Chain A
């Protein structure tokens, strides 16, 4: 990879870098999703609960993503805001089978949307209604109702149902994100 990096650099073909925040409650599947998006030789075998955050990189057809995969556990959520300013896009992951905590997810989302560093920016938000493979998972339509996503008027957003373990639904989401980011540029 080193050589390719340098070669493409030389040719001025370096991909545009984007800074993405991956947020959502703990156990929703953030780390699993990001892991799946990485090239297969860089994926780690077992996913463990994140403590704090971890920086991961992956590429789409025309962009190079740097993702801040944040820990979703209660005691770390108030630390997310340290990273808002630099974020150019947000991936917000919801465990569609965790109905009980759907209100908590909504609360965290609302706090995020009202944060001064986010509120007035047209920052694209990609929602993954994850774990759709589970039997008691609700549909992505239902998730977007529960989170009142239709109220988000000033930011482009999109929701995809996903199964991070098999990798289903992820590509659709990333393609949407790529389009959004390039749309901003042009």
Chain B
């Protein structure tokens, strides 16, 4: 492996890397030597190394030059030099996707894989599988089958692992090799057995029954290979997780592995058990005692594995982990700092409030010695502690602040900032201290992302504090000292102070005026824009343009604007025609998960709707529906699992229509379905306009059909509706092995589950950072209010959860979090109704014996308000 270069190497001129200054064109020129005879193996191997180095450094080779080099390389097969030949195999693999006609080496490789030189055989198999596409696979099938059962372990393993790779694009061919794989699975060689089981599992992974059978068969006879045991444990625990039941031979198998003679297997079993969801204390006990034993092992790797596993499950099974407290205490002083860190953070997560101070002190004694990765683990533990012991936040905050001041990489600093922000959000009394420490941090912060994030937070929270003016200095310093991205963030933060605080407005205007002269376009534009808005001194403008930003999707806006410029029209551009941004996941944090562990898949969510939009736009029947308003977040299954056909539905809402997209898979290998539609029968006045069939559904190849309906016009309030669904199609029987279908087919039908359309399908979540401002902006022209009793609900949390889910709107100002020991609560929800109308809901809840709810809804139109109230009542 190449050593990673650090700064020092770079500065000293990089003398340590002979390949550093390679030129692609020079290397390819050198490669012409391959055409010369006699061949010099040393020289050629060295040139191949250079080519591989370039490719691995990300150098782009054009098809022509790559192909030329590749064909020159093929001539090196004349030489019998073992090193050169191995380099050729590597080059073939690396260039298989860059050069053309790489199958030219097929016969040369099959010759090597069946030849006498054992050292060539395995690598030749791997190179061969890499260049073989599904059309060529039949030609080498015979050799692959032989290689899988070859008596030389390296050959057999190579063939098995390559088969696993081939499975991805040539499932049906590789499937035919299970008999050989079966034979290899009883090999005495531990690697061969492991690889064979891996292949068998992947061939059968979609067939639960077969997987279960396989586990019981191999475990009954016992396995030689500890790796194979580990694999079987993983497979078994995955099955168990999906079944949700513990009362199964699979669990007994995992349990029995706790007594295996290999430590690796024992650890794997213990780790699998403690990670299973919903394990009882009794089931956990033996696994935990194994981990406990490992905690005092002389082998550092075992201690590390045990304490890492305990650390991960500490929040889920606190009592089981507490049982190991004594052992963990011993590890606090372990000479291996990684082990010590994990031990301390585990104790922090499970320990009592009184031990926090002691442990924090202990850990600060060697904080400077551990790597960032483990520092993040410490931050995670602190974050978890803050949720558990809100009263301790002062101690913990101090610790976080001192960490913030020390050296550290981006991930580490981000974890700290995330943690501080979440503490501020949870505990209002910590807000002021938290904000001032963050202010101090951005005075000297090298990470743009963190600086802008904190500026945003200051803009949002600062104006609501007792002494907002003290933050201005810190923010304005950024405008003077930082580069443009941070300056732009600072300008936005300043504007937010001006929009919420009349006293400060004059001085904010002065500051913004200075920014109007900035060198950077973005900074200047923002300053000019905010200045103009603020000078109007209108609350509604402030709310719409400063406090609550754009809710549309930015790529969507870009596309809509481009479209508008391509087809100029008299009408002004309508912002309502732009699809909305899907709300950032970070805002929907669930309780209990430590903040730092939350990933942010915003991008994925945004692109999903875009993909749908593109697909739907390609269907002629859907022209003229206007922009796609919302796609339901997750497809609903309309069939039970393991039935003949698998149908899942996604709902796409447009201004006046809904398109139902049915993703269908036919799991019968002796049938091809044609002309597939899903017929729908609504309970309300929806009107089915047309069916767009899936032309053909061969075995196991997913296809899509659509049903287009118009929303009720007569009674526009009745939007909640149940549709009964029936799949109609023509069946053609076919030969399971060749897939060839009969010419004649017959009509058939298949009843699907009912499909619901609810209010939530008509509303898109949006986030209003400042709900009150938004509420005022919409105004009370179409306000309606009603009071309901929620007779079946017993707690405020439950009520809040249900309302949020039912209306599909976004809870603002963290109002989805009900404080402890309160019997009243106000939930604030924001959304956009189909057609682009803002809809806001304020719901006051009162808990006596049951929950009473007063719902007030506002919108810029009457219909959305009526629909909301009709749906609740």
Interface residues of chain A, those whose CB is within 8 Å of chain B, are 17, 19, 49-55, 66, 71, 76, 79, 82-83, 85-86
Contacts and interface: CB of A to CB of B under 8 A. Distances in A.
Contacts of B104: 52-53, 76, 79, 82
25 contacts: A17-B37, A17-B38, A19-B37, A49-B139, A50-B107, A51-B106, A51-B110, A51-B139, A52-B104, A53-B74, A53-B105, A53-B108, A54-B107, A54-B111, A55-B77, A66-B37, A66-B78, A76-B104, A79-B101, A79-B104, A82-B71, A82-B74, A83-B75, A85-B35, A86-B35
A51 B104 CA distance: 7
A53 B71 contact: no
A52 B77 CA distance: 13
A71 B71 contact: no
A82 B70 CA distance: 10
Contacts of B71: 79, 82
Residue from A19, A53, A66 with most neighbouring chain B CB atoms (10 Å): A53
A52 B75 contact: no
B509 to A, nearest CB: 74
Query: Which secondary structure dominates where chain B touches chain A?
Result: helix
Contacts of A83: 75
A51 B136 CA distance: 10
Q: What are the nearest 9 A-B pairs in CB distance?
A: A51-B106, A52-B104, A54-B107, A82-B71, A52-B106, A50-B107, A55-B77, A51-B107, A52-B107
A116 B190 CA distance: 56
Interface residues of B, number: 19
B290 interface: no
B103 interface: yes
B75 A86 contact: yes
Given A76-B104, A82-B71, 11 more contacts: A17-B38, A51-B107, A52-B107, A53-B74, A55-B77, A55-B78, A55-B108, A66-B78, A85-B35, A86-B35, A86-B75
Contact of B108 (A54, A79, A85): A54
Nearest to B80: A57
Nearest to A81: B71
Interface in B84-124: 101, 103-108, 110-111
A86 B37 CA distance: 8
A70 to B, nearest CB: 9
Given A51-B139, A53-B74, A71 B107 contact: yes
Given A66-B78, A83-B75, A86-B75, A52 B35 contact: no
A76 to B, nearest CB: 7
Interface of B: 35, 37-38, 71, 74-75, 77-78, 101, 103-108, 110-111, 136, 139
B94 to A, nearest CB: 18
Given A66-B78, A82-B71, A83-B75, A52 B37 contact: no
Contacts of A50: 107
Contacts of B101: 79
Contacts of A82: 71, 74, 104
B92 to A, nearest CB: 11
A15 to B, nearest CB: 13
A83 B68 CA distance: 11
A17 B105 CA distance: 23
Contacts of B75: 83, 86
Contacts of B38: 17
Contacts of A76: 104
Nearest to B140: A51
A44 to B, nearest CB: 9
A37 to B, nearest CB: 16
A128 to B, nearest CB: 20
Contacts of A71: 107
Contacts of A54: 107-108, 111
A51 to B, nearest CB: 4
A113 B700 CA distance: 51
A76 B105 CA distance: 11
A182 B643 CA distance: 75
B103 A52 contact: yes
A51 B139 CA distance: 9
A71 B105 CA distance: 11
A45 to B, nearest CB: 11
Contacts of B107: 50-54, 71
A86 B136 CA distance: 29
A101 to B, nearest CB: 22
Nearest to A88: B37
Nearest to A69: B107
Nearest to B38: A17
A17 B79 CA distance: 13
A31 B101 CA distance: 21
Nearest to B139: A51
A52 B78 contact: no
A121 to B, nearest CB: 16
Contacts of A55: 77-78, 108
Contacts of A51: 103, 106-107, 110, 136, 139
Contacts of B78: 55, 66
Nearest to B132: A51
Nearest to B136: A51
Residue from A19, A51, A71 with most neighbouring chain B CB atoms (10 Å): A51
B526 to A, nearest CB: 60
A82 B67 CA distance: 10
Contacts of B37: 17, 19, 66, 86
B105 to A, nearest CB: 6
Contacts of B111: 54
Contacts of A53: 74, 104-105, 107-108
Contacts of B77: 55
Contacts of B110: 51
Nearest to B76: A55
A85 B34 CA distance: 12
A86 B111 CA distance: 22
Residue from B37, B77, B107 with most neighbouring chain A CB atoms (10 Å): B107
Contact of B105 (A49, A52, A66, A86): A52
Nearest to A50: B107
A131 to B, nearest CB: 21
A182 B33 CA distance: 26
A17 B37 CA distance: 9
A51 B141 CA distance: 14
A165 B111 CA distance: 21
Nearest to B107: A54
A54 B136 CA distance: 17
B72 to A, nearest CB: 8
Nearest to A51: B106
Residue from A17, A49, A50, A82 with most neighbouring chain B CB atoms (10 Å): A82
Contacts of A17: 37-38
A90 to B, nearest CB: 16
A89 B645 CA distance: 62
Residue from B37, B104, B108, B110 with most neighbouring chain A CB atoms (10 Å): B104
A82 B75 CA distance: 10
Contacts of A19: 37
A85 B68 CA distance: 13
A85 B72 CA distance: 11
A82 B68 CA distance: 8
A54 B107 CA distance: 6
Nearest to A82: B71
A66 B569 CA distance: 74
A55 B74 CA distance: 10
Contacts of B106: 51-52
Contacts of B108: 52-55
A51 B138 CA distance: 12
Contacts of B74: 53, 82
A52 B107 CA distance: 6
A85 B75 CA distance: 12
Nearest to A76: B104
A19 B39 CA distance: 12
A50 B110 CA distance: 10
Nearest to B105: A52
A135 B358 CA distance: 99
A57 B471 CA distance: 84
